[in-house]
Structure 1
C-alpha cells in the first residue's frame, strides 16, 4: 500500500508520454485519411499543379508536415488547415463538409479562392457544428450566395468569419441567423454587392469587434444610429463604396470603442471630418482618394481627438494651411498628407515627437519653410517632401537633428548633415545639384540599399566609395554628366537588382565583372559613349529590362538571353551591331519590346521571330536586312500587355527588426500603408506618325507597332499582316524594295494610327476599303508605282493632303491635281514574252558595242594629243595632282568632323 502511494503519479506520466509520443510520431491516422479523401473528392475539379502536394502513396508520410497543415505539438491533432487555390476556375464545384468531421481539434480552416459554389445535399456547413473548437473560418473569394448563411449559424464557437469576394447581394434574407454566433468578433463581407440594408440585418451580432463592408454598393447617407447595436465595435471599414455623408451626433454614445475607421474611396465632402468627434477612442483614420472633395481643410471637432496614432488623407483635394491644432496629436505615429493642395508651412508638426512616418509629397507648401522644423522628431524614420515648393534654410546645418531617417525623399537638402549613417533609402533626384559626387559618399552612408541621384547635374567620375554600399540594391545615376568608365567594383555589389545610368557621358566597355550580378533585373546604360562588344557572360535569368541603345557597341548580338523567360524588353537601337538576327530570339518567350533599329544587321528576318507571341513593339529599321517579309508575323496578337513596365522598391528594409515591404511597414502589429515605392519606369523611343515619340511606364502596355523601314526587303507585302490583331497601332514598311499591291486586308487593322508604305515599288490600286480605318492619323504611299483613283475623301482620309500620294504619276483624284478623266489606263496590250526579251537583248547589245568603241576612241585620242603636245601634257598632269590633293584634304577634314559629331 505504501509502495502504491509512493508511485501514484506513474500512470499520469505514462498517459502524458503516450500523448507526447503520439504527437512526436505524427498526425492521427483518421485525420490523414480524411485529408486524402478530400483530395480524392476533388479530382474532377482540379489537377496536381493546382492542388497542395499531399503524398498519398507513402503511408509513413506525416500529414503534420504537409503543406497547409498545422498540428498540436503535444497531441498531434490537426488544429489549422489552409487549402487555398486548390481548384481550377471551371464554373465552381460543390463541397462535402462531412469529410472534415474527423478534425475534432480544428481551430482554423481557410478555404479561400477555391471557386466553391455550394455543397452536396445534406453535407453543408451545418455539419461543422460538430467542430466545437473551430474559431476562424475563411471562405473568401468563392461563389457562395445568401443560402450559405443558415448553415453557418450552427458553428457556435466561431469568432472570425470571412465571406469577402463572393456573390452575396443586397437581400438581407438569412443574415438574421448569424445573430446565433454569440462569440463572433470579426466579420468580413467586403467585395460583394450589399446595399445599405445590410446594417439593419447585422444588428443582432452584438459581439462584433471588426466589421468590413468595403467594396460594396453602400451609397448616399449613413447615420451612426444604424450602428447602435455594435457597442463593442473597434474597427470599421467602409472604403470603396459610394457613401456621400456619415451623419453623427456628438452625444450619441455609439461606437465609443471604435479605434479604426476607413472611409477611403467614397464620395464624401470635407464636412464629414466634423463627424469624427463622435469617436473619442479613434486611433487610426484613413480617408484617401475621395476625389469629390473641394475646399479648405476643416478642423471642427476632430482636432480634439488626442488618441490618434495614424492619419492618412492622401490624394484628396484639400486646400489651405495646416491647422495649428495638429500639434495636439502627440500620440501620432504616421501622417500622410500627400497628393493634396496644402500650402503654407508645417510648423504645427514640429512637436509631434512620436512621429515615425511623414509624407508631405505633392502639395503646394510655400516658402519659407525650414527643414530644421523636423529636428525634434527623434523617432522619424520615413520622410517624404518631394514635389512641393519648399525651400530649406541654408544655415540650418549648424544644428544636429535627433531623428534617424531610414527612408528619405526630398528637395534641396544638405543631406550629408541631416541623415543618419544607417539610412536605407535616399532619393535626392531632380535637385539641380552640380559638381562631383562626394568621394566619401559611400563611407558616410554604407548601409544604403537604394540611392537615386538622377536628374541632377553631377559631373566627374563615379566615386569608388560607392563600392562600400555592400547591401546596395538600386543605383540610379541617370540624367547627369558623369564621365569615365563603368567601375569594375560594381560587380562586387552582389545584391544589385537595378543599375540605371542612362543619359550620361560614360565611355569604354562594359566590365565583365558585372556578369556576377545574378539578381539583376533592370539594366539601363542607354545614351552614353560606351563601346566594344556586349559581354556574352551575363547569366542573370532575372533580367527583365535591358537597355543599351544610343551607344557605340559593335559586334554581333550576344548569345546571352537565349531561353530567358523573364526578359520583357531588349533595346540595342542606335549602335553598330553587325551580323544576323539570331535564331534563338524566338526562345525569349516573354519578350514584349524588341528594338534593333539603326545598326548594321544583315540577312533575312528569321521566322523564329514569329514565336514571340507577346511582342508589342518591333523595330528593325535602318539595317541591311533583305529578303521577303515573313508571312508568320501575323502570329503577333498585339494585345494589351499585362507586363509591369516599372519595378517597385526594396522589399526587405528592416525597422526595429521587422521587415518593411515595398508598400507598408509594421507598427505595433498593424500594417501602415505608405508610398515607399522606388519605381524604376523604363522608357523607350519608337517612331510613329512620322515622328519619334518616347513612351514610359505602363503606357507601353497599350502601344503596339512594327517598323521595318529603311532596309532592302523585297517581294510582296504578305496579306496575312492585315489579319493580325486589330490592336496594331503603327506600321512602317517605307524605304524598301517591296512590290505588288497593297493588301486589302489592311482594312481589318481598325486601331491603326500610322501606316507608311512610301518609297517602294508597289503597284495597282489603293484599296478603297482603307477608308474604314477611322483611327488613322498618318498615311503615306508616296513614291511608288500606284495607279487608279485615290480613296474617297471621307473619315480620316479627309485629313491627308497631296504629300501622302505624291510620286505616283498614274494616281488621280483628290487631293491630287490629276483629273482621272485625262489619265488613260495603264498600257496592258499583251506582248509575247520571248519577243520582248529578244528585242531588249538586241538593243542592249548595240548599246554595249557602241559604248566600248566610243570609250576606246576617246581614250586613244587623249593619249595621242598628250604625246604630241608637251605643254598640254604638263598641264594635264598638274591638274590631276591638284585634284588628288584637294580630294585628300576634303576627305580628311570632313571625316574628322563627322567622327567628332558622331561621338558627341
Structure 2
C-alpha cells in the first residue's frame, strides 16, 4: 500500500535545559500505552530513578541545550504476528525529532520530516512519493533495508524527492522487477549529488547499475554485494568516484576484475571487499592489488583460487598500510611470503582454510607484533602449543589455529617466562598431538572468553584454575583429550560460563552435587563418554538457562531427578543414553515442554511412555530403545507433528501401531522393532519424508495394502522381517524408487517374486527368505545394484547419522546422533551402520 506522508513541523527553541519538557514526557507515556495496546513492548518509562526526566529514559536522547527529544529508538518493540499502522500524530509533540528508529516492527506506515529515518525490517510493500512532493527536505539518512519493497522502480524514482540524502540503505529487498529497472529510475538515483553512503546489497541489480552509481561523485561508501553482477568488470568504471573509500562487490559472479597495469584511479580507496566473486585468475587478482596503495582493509575470502603459490602474491606486498587482510578459503600453497613482515600495521590476518605450510616459529608472523586477531585454521602449519613465538605480541587477543600440526612445548633459555599478551579467544583444536600438558602461558591468562583445546590428547585433570583465573570465560571445550581423575569444579560460582564440553575423556567419580550452583549460567553442558558414576545431581534443576544437557555414555545410576525435570524449563536436548538409570522416565511434575530431542536409550527404565511427554509439542527426536518400557504406544504421539525420529526398539511395547502416526508428515525414521506390536500397519501411513522403517520382530499380521507407503519416495530401508505378514508383494512395492534395503524374511508372504522389484534401481539388499514364495527369481533383478559390491559407504553413512543444531546465546551448537540398525537373515544376525551387506537370500 502507498505510504502517505504526514508533515511534522520542526520548531526550534533556545536556552539551556535541566530536564525534559513535561508535554514531551506525557507524549512518551502515551506512546508507551499505544505500543502496549498493539501487543508491543517498551521499556519501563516513568518507573524508578529519574522517573520524571524522560531524557534519562532508555532509548530516548535529548538535546543538551533545549532539552527537547531529538532521537527515539523503538526498534524491535512489536511482538505481534501481523503488520499494523503507526499513528503518526503520536510524534507531533516531538518538534525537534531528528532520528527515529522503527526497524523490525512490521509497520506499514511511517512518520516523516526527520533528518534520519529507519524503517528497516518492516513490511512496507510499496514506497512511493507523490509527484512534486516537497516534504522531508531535510532528510539526510534513510534506511529501508529488509522492508519487503517489491517495486524497485517506484522506490528509486521516489528518491528524487529527498535531495538532502547523504545516506541510503536499500539492502535485502530483492525487488521483483529490478531486472527491468527503467533508465528513468536509475537516472533519478544518479542525481542524488549529496549521497556519500549507498547500500544496494542483497538485491538483483545487474551490471547496468554501474554506469549510474558512477555518477555519484560524492560517494565514499558503495555496497553492491550479493547482487547479479557478472562477467568481466573493469575497475575504470569507478574512476569518477574519486572520493570512494569503501567498495564491496562480494558474492557476485565476477570472473574477471580488470585492473590495467599502472592504474592510478581510486587513490582514496581504503576498504575493498571481493570475497566469493568467482575470479578465475587468482594470480592476476592478487598482483593487481598493488594498484591500491592506500588500502587498509582487503577481503579476498572464498575465491578458491586453483593451485596458487604464495610466490605469486607480490601484489599484496606493496600494501604496507594494511590493517585487515582476509585471504581465507583460497587454496593458497607454500609458505607465508616474508613480505608480510613489512605490514607493520596489520591488526587482523585470516589465512585459514588454505594449503599453507611451514613452521610458525620461523615465519613472518613472528614480526607482526601489531597483530590483534590471527586466524590460521585448516592449514599445514607447525605450531608450538606454547605459543612462544608470539610472546612479544602484546596486542594479540584472538588466536585460531584449529586443524594444524600442534607441536610440544618449546622452551629457550632466553625466552620470556610469561607472554606479553592477554588472549580473549584461543582455539588449538587438532587431530595431532599426544601426551601434552596444559601450556604454561595459560596460567598467566586472565581475560579468556573462549577456549578450545580439543583433540590434542592433553594429560592432566580438569583445569579448575582456568575457570578461577578467567571470570569472563564463556565457552570451554576440551573434547577427546586424555584428561582424567575426578571432575572437580571451582570453589566459587562462575556466572559467565555458558558452554562446557569435556566429552570423550577419562573423568571418573561422581558429578559434583553442587554443579548447578557453581555453573548456574550454562546453556550447554556435555560430559558424555567418560567414566562418571553415581546419581544425577538434582542441582541441575537450578540451571535456568540450560538448553543442552548430555550425560550419555557414562555409568550413572538412579532415577532422573524431579528437580531437573521441573527446573530446566529451557531444555531443548536431553541425552542420558547408555547409562544404568532406572525407574520410571518422568514424574507427573514435568516442565520440559521445550524439548526437541530426548535420548534415553540404553538404560533400565520401566513402565509406560509417560503422558507428560504429550506436552512436548516441538519434539523432533524420541530415542527410547533398549529399555524395559511396557504398555501400548500412546496415541498422542501422533499429535506431536514435528517428530522426525522415533526410535523405540528392544522394549516390551504392545498393541497396535496408532493410526495417529499417519499425521506425522515430517517423520524420517521409525524404529519400533523387537517389541510385541500387533495388528496391521495402517494403510494411511505414508510420510513423504520417511527414510527408515524398522518393524521387525513383532507380531504384525495381515496384508500390506497398496496405500501403505504410497508417495514415500524417500524410503531407503524397510525391515518387516520376523512378523506374520501375508499376501503378495507386488501390490505395494511400486513407487519406492529410492529403496535400497528391503528385508521381508520370516513372514507368511506368498505368490511369486514380483517383477516390480526390478523397478527398484537402488536396491542393494533383498531378503525374502523363510516365506511361502514360489516360482523363479526375475532375471531383470540383474539390472539393479544387487549384484554389485558396495565399496563406497559414504552416502549410506549419512542415512544413519542424525544431525541437528540448537541456537544458543553464544551461537549454534551442533549435535550428531549415530544409530545402529540390526537385521537377521540366513539365521545370522548382522548389525549395519552405514555400509551394508549385498545379500540375496
Shorter chain as denominator, the TM-score bin is 0.7 to 0.9
Residue 734 of structure 1, aligned match among 688, 696, 708: 696
CA–CA distance in structure 2, aligned partners of residues 487 and 273 of structure 1: 55
1:153 maps to what in 2? 160
Residue 421 of structure 1, aligned match among 445, 464, 478: 445
- Answer yes or no: is 1:273 the counterpart of 2:291: no
CA–CA distance in structure 2, aligned partners of residues 457 and 536 of structure 1: 33
- Answer yes or no: is 1:477 the counterpart of 2:505: no
8 Å CA contact 2:650–2:675 kept in 1: the answer is yes
CA–CA distance in structure 2, aligned partners of residues 385 and 459 of structure 1: 25
For residues 250-281 of structure 1, give each alpha carbon's deviation from its aligned partner in whole angstroms, at most 9, with x where no partner exists. 64332111111110111123221222222222
8 Å CA contact 2:296–2:321 kept in 1: the answer is yes
Q: Secondary structure at the match of 1:755?
A: strand
For residues 828-868 of structure 1, give each alpha carbon's deviation from its aligned partner in whole angstroms, at most 9, with x where no partner exists. xxxxxxxxxxxxxxxxxxxxxxxxxxxxxxxxxxxxxxxxx
Q: 5 Å matches for 1:180-579?
A: 180-249=191-260, 251-268=262-279, 269-270=281-282, 271-297=284-310, 298-346=312-360, 347-366=363-382, 371-396=387-412, 399-410=417-428, 415-419=438-442, 420-422=444-446, 423-437=448-462, 442-443=467-468, 445=470, 447-465=472-490, 469-492=494-517, 493-538=519-564, 539-559=567-587, 562=590, 564-579=592-607
Larger radius of gyration: 1
8 Å CA contact 1:604–1:627 kept in 2: the answer is yes
Q: 5 Å matches for 1:818-837?
A: none
- Answer yes or no: is 1:721 the counterpart of 2:696: no
Q: Which runs of 5+ in 1 are unaligned?
A: 1-13, 41-46, 56-60, 640-703, 817-904
CA–CA distance in structure 2, aligned partners of residues 712 and 370 of structure 1: 59
CA–CA distance in structure 2, aligned partners of residues 331 and 464 of structure 1: 42
Q: 5 Å matches for 1:722-871?
A: 722=686, 724=687, 726-745=688-707, 746-792=709-755, 793-796=757-760, 799=763, 804-814=767-777
8 Å CA contact 2:494–2:520 kept in 1: the answer is no
8 Å CA contact 1:428–1:453 kept in 2: the answer is yes
How far apart are residue 154 of structure 1 and its match? 2.5
For residues 56-111 of structure 1, give each alpha carbon's deviation from its aligned partner in whole angstroms, at most 9, with x where no partner exists. xxxxx999999988665735456457677979999x99999999999774122112
For residues 475-517 of structure 1, give each alpha carbon's deviation from its aligned partner in whole angstroms, at most 9, with x where no partner exists. 2111112111111231222112222111111111011122211
CA–CA distance in structure 1, aligned partners of residues 201 and 131 of structure 2: 21
1:707 maps to what in 2? 671
8 Å CA contact 1:442–1:469 kept in 2: the answer is yes
CA–CA distance in structure 2, aligned partners of residues 628 and 504 of structure 1: 39
8 Å CA contact 2:694–2:719 kept in 1: the answer is yes
8 Å CA contact 1:618–1:707 kept in 2: the answer is yes
- Answer yes or no: is 1:108 the counterpart of 2:116: yes
8 Å CA contact 1:442–1:467 kept in 2: the answer is no
CA–CA distance in structure 2, aligned partners of residues 15 and 138 of structure 1: 28
TM-score, normalised by the number of residues in structure 2: 0.78
RMSD: 3.7
Q: Secondary structure at the match of 1:491?
A: helix
8 Å CA contact 1:182–1:207 kept in 2: the answer is yes
Q: Secondary structure at the match of 2:483?
A: strand
For residues 698-723 of structure 1, give each alpha carbon's deviation from its aligned partner in whole angstroms, at most 9, with x where no partner exists. xxxxxx2000111111111111212x
CA–CA distance in structure 2, aligned partners of residues 71 and 245 of structure 1: 50
CA–CA distance in structure 1, aligned partners of residues 75 and 479 of structure 2: 46
8 Å CA contact 1:93–1:116 kept in 2: the answer is no
CA–CA distance in structure 2, aligned partners of residues 798 and 813 of structure 1: 21
How far apart are residue 147 of structure 1 and its match? 2.5
Q: Which runs of 5+ in 2 are unaligned?
A: 1-11, 46-51, 98-113, 780-841
8 Å CA contact 2:743–2:768 kept in 1: the answer is yes
How far apart are residue 442 of structure 1 and its match? 4.7
CA–CA distance in structure 1, aligned partners of residues 210 and 743 of structure 2: 63
Q: Secondary structure at the match of 2:126?
A: strand
CA–CA distance in structure 1, aligned partners of residues 646 and 122 of structure 2: 40
Change (3 A) 1:334 1:84: same
How far apart are residue 534 of structure 1 and its match? 0.9
For residues 36-63 of structure 1, give each alpha carbon's deviation from its aligned partner in whole angstroms, at most 9, with x where no partner exists. 8xx99xxxxxx945899999xxxxx999
How far apart are residue 135 of structure 1 and its match? 1.6
2:802 maps to what in 1? none
CA–CA distance in structure 1, aligned partners of residues 196 and 547 of structure 2: 44
Change (3 A) 1:560 1:312: farther
CA–CA distance in structure 1, aligned partners of residues 390 and 717 of structure 2: 54
Change (3 A) 1:636 1:357: same
How far apart are residue 528 of structure 1 and its match? 0.8
8 Å CA contact 2:639–2:663 kept in 1: the answer is yes
Change (3 A) 1:619 1:95: same
Q: Secondary structure at the match of 1:602?
A: strand
Q: Secondary structure at the match of 2:476?
A: strand
Change (3 A) 1:30 1:353: closer
CA–CA distance in structure 2, aligned partners of residues 439 and 220 of structure 1: 56
Change (3 A) 1:738 1:112: same
Which structure has greater helix proportion?
A: 1
8 Å CA contact 1:743–1:767 kept in 2: the answer is no
More moved, 277-286 vs 436-445: 436-445
Q: Secondary structure at the match of 2:309?
A: coil
How far apart are residue 555 of structure 1 and its match? 0.5
CA–CA distance in structure 1, aligned partners of residues 169 and 726 of structure 2: 67
For residues 577-631 of structure 1, give each alpha carbon's deviation from its aligned partner in whole angstroms, at most 9, with x where no partner exists. 0011012212111111110111010011111111211110001111111111100
8 Å CA contact 1:80–1:109 kept in 2: the answer is no
Q: Secondary structure at the match of 2:500?
A: strand
CA–CA distance in structure 1, aligned partners of residues 764 and 776 of structure 2: 13
CA–CA distance in structure 1, aligned partners of residues 165 and 244 of structure 2: 17
1:135 maps to what in 2? 140
8 Å CA contact 2:152–2:181 kept in 1: the answer is no
Change (3 A) 1:29 1:501: closer
8 Å CA contact 2:676–2:699 kept in 1: the answer is yes
Change (3 A) 1:626 1:528: same
Change (3 A) 1:602 1:22: closer
2:819 maps to what in 1? none
Q: Secondary structure at the match of 1:326?
A: helix
2:624 maps to what in 1? 596
